[in-house]
Chains A and B, each alone.
Chain A
């Protein structure tokens, strides 16, 4: 029995892992940026409702912005 990696299986593995890495990176980057924007005081024992709303909105607005930048960029070509 061949114990070497099945090519398509391996490709699937790599694809899955690189997708995971991309999502991971995106979440990490957004959390970092939104933390800086939204958490201005020293961290308390609980987020205030405005802090958690800000984090939520910040992530979504970042997505909106990415879309706008993409469109703007494409219209320049």
Chain B
């Protein structure tokens, strides 16, 4: 990993490997976030918008906030369970 400490190449040539990997990681993180958001939308729509009315009701919006919080919590519970097994 010592190559990570090498200074980034200055000049207008191709981007440094470090910059490229950073960029890749950012793009991956964005993709993960987008996928997670899509899941949140699907799950919370199913749970909270059971009968779509002419506007989003107060109880629907509060259900959505709780749903988002709980889904994030559920993700934590599941990943902790998985990692507890992996040893």
Residues of chain A having any CB pair with chain B under 8 Å: 1, 3-6, 9-10, 13, 17, 20-21, 24, 26-28, 30-32, 34-35, 38-39, 42-45, 47, 52, 55-56, 58-60, 63
Within 8 A of A (CB), among B35-75: 35-36, 39, 43-44, 47-48, 63, 66-67, 69-71, 73-75
Contacts of A6 in B (CB 8 A): 3, 17
CB contact between B20 and one of A5, A42, A55 (< 8 Å): that residue: A5
Which chain A residue shows the least CB distance to B72?
Answer: A31
The chain A residue with its CB closest to the CB of B66 is A43
- Using a CB–CB distance below 8 Å, which chain B residues touch chain A? 3, 6, 9, 13-14, 16-17, 20-21, 24-25, 28, 32, 35-36, 39, 43-44, 47-48, 63, 66-67, 69-71, 73-75, 77-82, 85
| 9 residue pairs A–B, Cβ–Cβ below 8 Å | A1-B6, A17-B25, A31-B79, A39-B74, A43-B63, A56-B80, A59-B77, A59-B78, A60-B85
Knowing A39-B74, A42-B48, A55-B77 are in contact, say whether A9-B17 is a contact too (CB < 8 A): yes
Are A28's CB and B36's CB within 8 A? yes
In the bound assembly, the distance between CA atoms of A6 and B1 in angstroms comes to 11
Tell me if B's interface is mostly helix, strand, loop or mixed. helix
B24 touches A32 (CB 8 A): no
* Chain A residues within an 8 Å CB radius of B85: 60, 63
Decide: B14 and A43 in contact? CB cutoff 8 A. Answer: no
**Contact at B70–A27, with CB atoms within 8 Å?**
no
